[in-house]
Amino acid sequence: MRYTFECKECKKFFEISATIEVFVADNFVCPHCGSRKLKRSYTSPNVIFNGKGFYKTDNRKEKI
């Protein structure tokens, strides 16, 4: 999973790709300034629509 953090010292955002076990066990530091004062930033997940019914043209009746 990808985790996004904001550093409270330098106010920069960065991402860490790690498993949940590593995320809990490790203490992360800001790659920009080395601070340990981090705030987890939550973002919305990426959504991919596949299949029928997701576009307005999928259910449209054809004109005669």
pLDDT averaged over 10-residue windows placed end to end, the chain, 64 residues: 89 87 74 91 75 63 63
Domain membership flag for residue 24? yes
pLDDT the model gives residue 25: 57
pTM score, whole prediction: 0.58
Number of domains in the chain: 1
pLDDT the model gives residue 32: 94
pLDDT the model gives residue 20: 76
Domain membership flag for residue 48? no
Q: Is 11 left (phi over 0), alpha (psi -120 to 50) or beta?
A: left
Domain membership flag for residue 29? yes
pLDDT the model gives residue 43: 73
* Enclosing domain of residue 12: 2-41
Domain membership flag for residue 22? yes
Q: How many helices (H) and strands (E) does the chain have?
A: 1, 3
Q: Which residues of 19-40 are buried (b: 16+ CB within 10 A; e: fewer)?
A: eeeeeeeeeeebeeeeeeebee
Domain membership flag for residue 52? no
Domain membership flag for residue 10? yes
